[in-house]
Structure formats: C-alpha cells, structure tokens
Amino acid sequence: MTDQLLNDRDLRFQLFEILDTEGLLKRPRYAELDLTVLDATLQTAREIAAQYFAPHNQKGDANEPTFDGEKVTLIPETKIAWDAFASAGFLAAHHDFEDGGQQLPEVVLRACMAYFNAANIATLGYSFLSIGAANLVKSFANAELRQRFLPPMLEGRFSGTMAMTEPGQGSALGDLRTSARAAEDGSYRISGSKMFISGGDHELTENIVHLVLARIEGAPAGVKGISLFLVPKYLVNADGSVGARNDVALAGLLHKMGYRNATSTVLNFGEKGGAVGYLVGEANKGLGYMFQMMNEARIGVGLGAASLGYQSYIHALDYARNRPQGRLPGNKNPLAPQVRIVEHADVRRMLLQQKVYAEGSMALCLYASTLVEDSHTAPAAEQRRQAAELLDLLTPVVKSWPSRYALLASEIGIQVLGGSGYTREYLLEQFYRDNRLNPIHEGTEGIQAIDLLARKLGPRGGDGYALFLSRLQASLDEAHTRKDCSSLATALRTAMQVIERVTIEMQIRVSANPDLGLSNATAYLDMFGKLVVGWIWLRQALAASHALTSRAAGSEADFYKGKIHAARYFMDWELAGLQGQARLLSTGNRLCYDMQNDWF
C-alpha cells in the first residue's frame, strides 16, 4: 500500500504554473517571505502529516472516541498530532506577525491543509475548527476578548468550535432556540442544546472556545435575531489562567459513518442556570459573522473532499499498477502472462474519472483560495473587489462540486480494488466513509444550490457571474489559438452558451415563483459546477500545452499529456449529458415540485 498523500508534482503545477503563487511574494504583506520559505512550509506540512497524522488514520477509525460520563478519551496519537501541528505554527500560519503568525499566503496554507486532510481528516478536524473559530475571534471580538482568547488559540493551548445546529432546527438557522440573557457584568448566560458540534469536547487542550449562535431574550424572530457568543468550556481569569468549569455539558457523542476520530457532540448549555458567554461584535448580527467562518469552512469542506478523493485516486492507481489479473479481451491464450489491471481499459476509465474529479476538485479549491487571498491582498481595490465577487459566486460550487465528485472518486476507488476495496484491510472504504460527510456539513448540496441560484444569481447578487463569464471567455479565446486545446474550447463554449441561456430562464422562474423555480436548483448547481470545473480543466490544459511546446520531455511531458488527456475526457464524457439536462431546466420541468406526499 502506498504512503503517498498527494501528487507533489501536481501541487507544484497548481501553485506555481497555474496560480502564480510566486507573484504573491511581490505584495507588501509577503515581503519577508521567499520561495524557499514556501517550499519549506509545504515540506513541513507533508512531513508532519506523514509522521503524525497518517499512521493513526485507521486506528482512530477503529477506536473511536468514548465518553465515560466524565471525560472523552481519544487514542493518544491524536494529542501528539495536535501538538505537532500547533508547534509547527500551522494554527497561526496565516495570521499577522504581531499575533504570532507567519503571514503565510492563504493558498499555501490550504495546500498544507490538503496534506493533512489526505493523511487523516478526522484528527485534523480539531485544528480545522479551531482555525475557523480563531479567525472569527480575530475579526469580530472586542480587544479585551481577543487578547484573552486569541493567543492561546493560536498557540494551540485552546481549541475552538462553531456551535450552530440544534436538535430541532437543522439547516433552518432562523429557528434556533438557544437563548442568551444579559447578566449584570455585561456578559450573558447561555441556555440551550447544540447538536453535531465537531470537536465539542475532548482533552486535547486546556480549554475549548465555543462560538455559539443564540438569541438574546426579546430579539427579533428568525435570522435577524441571532447573536454570536464566545462560550468557553472553562472560564478564563483576567490574567489568562484557566479557571472554573463553565456551565457547558457534554450530553453525548454521536457515532458516525466516518470521520470517527473527530468527536461529534451534543452539548447542553445552561443546565445549571446558564453558561457564561461573551457577545462577539454587535447584538443580532451573529449570523453575518458566522457566515465569514462558514464561507471559509465551505472552501475547507471542498478541500477536504478533494483531498480524500485524491487519496482514493492515488491508492487505486497504485493498486492498479501493481495488481496482475487476467488478460486483455483480445488475448485468448490462457498461458499468456497476466497483465496489471491498469492495462484493462475499464480500469483506466475508472482511474481517469478519479483523476478528473480529484485533480479538478483540488485545482478548484486552490483557485478559490487565491480569490480569498486576492480579496484581501491584491494591490488594486478593483482587483480585490472582483476577487471577492467571484469568490462569492463560486463558493457554493467550491463546496458542493468536490463533495459530490471527489466523493465519487472515493467511491470509484473501492471499485478499482474490487473485493479488496470492500475490506478494511485497505483504506479505500474508509476514505469513502470519511468523505461521505462532505455533502452534508456546512450546508447540504440542496442548500448550496439555493445559495447559488437565489442569492448569488438572484436580483441582489453581485457581478461575480459576469466576471466569471468574461474570465471563461478569455480562456476560451486563448484555447482556440492552440492546436491541442481548440477542441476543448469548442466543447466548453457550447456548454457555456447552454448554461447562459438556462441561467436566464432559471432567474426568471425563480423570481416569478421561488418555490417552483428553486425546485430544480440542485440540477442547476450540478450543471453550473460542470461549467466551472470545465474551465478549471481548460486552464490546466492550457498551462500544460504551453509547457509541452516550450520544454517538457520524459516524465514531465507525460505529466502534461495526462493533464490534456484528462481535460479531453472531462469535455467529452462529463459534459455529454448537459444539453439533455438543460432542456429539462429550460422547459421548467415540474415533476419534483408536483410530486405529492401521498403518492410516494
């Protein structure tokens, strides 16, 4: 079994041949960095992932966290991995020097995270949530709170969670019922139950900082009455020392299909009268703040899915290259030697599918990370604005496309190995189980679809869509001038025209009748995602085409030829059904909407 985590060559291709990560070094924020530092950081991530995360991936799955009524017990490797991650500075890597960070560019941090995801996504869960929680504290908490909680979070002494979902409300955040009552000292007393809180309890850190959505007594109903609170597991004294236990209790652990080494918890706040919580930012603006974290987390979920799909691809490819079995159909001689299964065309089909899903997902998520980057640090205000608009449009795709298709890469990985893929003696089935969470958390696929169609493409959406089309058009124009890319451009241009037409029709339908118009939103999201990832593959093919013309030979040339071939596969096979599906949306097919409960 291979211990490779990602294809380093592909990661270099993405970072330095497509995304111009080197160009970031010219920005003032990165003046003190150079390529050597970026390389060393990536290498450190790969090494820590390989040394401290990957070795207990199966063990953590087989020995999930337990709760004895007092404490949660994890396998000890989890704590060692957490400490290694924190010591190497990854919890703070993208933060300012003055906060103890390394001012690492977003895209490089995400590439590092991809190694950890690939090695052990469950153990990484604690860090993933903590990074997001610390970003929220940094962005919205007042100076006093920030001073008290941010340093230990960035050092890894405290971890963090995001506590949104409740048992009775699920995706409908406006219905949350956790309440906050103002106390005399300016803090609040929080009461209520939260569910599916990842990393909600454990003994990895001295303290856990829950960022909790709750409703201040008397606040408006719905999403406009939601505030954000910082609720620590243990109170923190003014001198920063950890004090008494707060009124936050672990009601129980949930037992999951995968992601098992990450605790998923039900937390009860205020069983003894109210947990001490501190308002973050202004009252009733909590959902907006949380959306910052959720938007980051959506890219993180996409990247997690991409990384697991990538691992599945790497493992399946390794197996297919080493496992002899059977002969080609045209060879009827039973005494001829067996071939490796990669020689069977149907196995290559599966591997090619995995490649376009996994590498396409990874490329998409890293591209999105550069939009995050540019929205903050691009030199010109208009560049920053455009990046933010594009990111806003693409976030539901970045979350949902890998969650669907990189998950499919994991599913196909099982099939490549056949019976072996179905056993826990190999990692493939675990990759699938871990990956299966991704279409669910941080907003299900259906919710991403509504976000795209009703918000991002709705009347109050920005110009991200126009920007996307113009960037796509620029790539198409370039591709038309290159012999090995022009057929790709032709296929993708057709898809673009189809989707432009469907988009207008969908927008009209949604504004006329949102319930009916949105009933086909998920099909639209899938279609739109194909156009976006088609573009991502076209960009890769273009870069490969340039490299092949100018210099590549040997295994380098093979790498680039593989990219162009995979792009062709995407355009031919993945876009094949597009026109037929578009017709359903164009004609406003009502079958899902019209289906009656009693007819099931």
Q: At its nearest, how many Å lie between a second copy and the CB of residue 558?
A: 4
Distance CA 554, CA 365 (A): 29
Q: Which is nearer to a second copy, 110 or 194 (CB)?
A: 194
Distance CA 512, CA 138 (A): 42
The CA-to-CA distance between both ends of the chain, in Å, stands at 46
Distance CA 38, CA 86 (A): 18
Residues 6+ positions from 546 with CB-CB distance below 8 Å: none
Q: Which is nearer to a second copy, 105 or 125 (CB)?
A: 125
Distance CA 280, CA 273 (A): 21
Q: At its nearest, how many Å lie between a second copy and the CB of residue 198?
A: 10
3-state secondary structure of 198: strand
Q: At its nearest, how many Å lie between a second copy and the CB of residue 520?
A: 8
Residues 6+ positions from 418 with CB-CB distance below 8 Å: none
Q: At its nearest, how many Å lie between a second copy and the CB of residue 167?
A: 10
Q: At its nearest, how many Å lie between a second copy and the CB of residue 420?
A: 9
Phi-psi region at 227: left, alpha or beta (left = phi > 0; alpha = psi -120 to 50): beta
Q: Which is nearer to a second copy, 112 or 416 (CB)?
A: 416
Question: Are the CB atoms for 566 and 534 separated by under 8 Å?
Answer: no
Q: At its nearest, how many Å lie between a second copy and the CB of residue 549?
A: 17
Integer-rounded Cα Rg, in Å, for the chain is 24
Beta strands 179-182 and 207-216, pairing class: parallel
Q: Which is nearer to a second copy, 11 or 575 (CB)?
A: 575
Q: Which is nearer to a second copy, 301 or 388 (CB)?
A: 301
Distance CA 569, CA 359 (A): 13
Q: Which is nearer to a second copy, 40 or 257 (CB)?
A: 257
Q: Which is nearer to a second copy, 105 or 421 (CB)?
A: 421
Name the DSSP class of 352. H
How far is Cα of residue 486 from the mean position of the Cα atoms in its chain?
A: 32
Strand-pair partners of 189: 181, 276
Q: Which is nearer to a second copy, 328 or 504 (CB)?
A: 328
Q: DSSP secondary structure string, 79-91?
A: HHHHHHHHHTTTT
CB atoms within 10 A of CB 470: 11
How far is Cα of residue 226 from the mean position of the Cα atoms in its chain?
A: 25
Exposure string over 393-404, b if 16+ CB within 10 A, otherwise e: bbbbbbbbbbbb
Burial of 444 (0-12, 13-18, 19+ CB in 10 A): middle
Q: At its nearest, how many Å lie between a second copy and the CB of residue 401?
A: 16
3-state secondary structure of 42: helix
Q: At its nearest, how many Å lie between a second copy and the CB of residue 417?
A: 9
Question: Are the CB atoms for 552 and 564 separated by under 8 Å?
Answer: no
Q: Which is nearer to a second copy, 76 or 459 (CB)?
A: 459
Catalytic positions, please? 442
Distance CA 312, CA 325 (A): 20
Q: At its nearest, how many Å lie between a second copy and the CB of residue 163?
A: 14
Strand-pair partners of 248: 269
Distance CA 106, CA 214 (A): 30
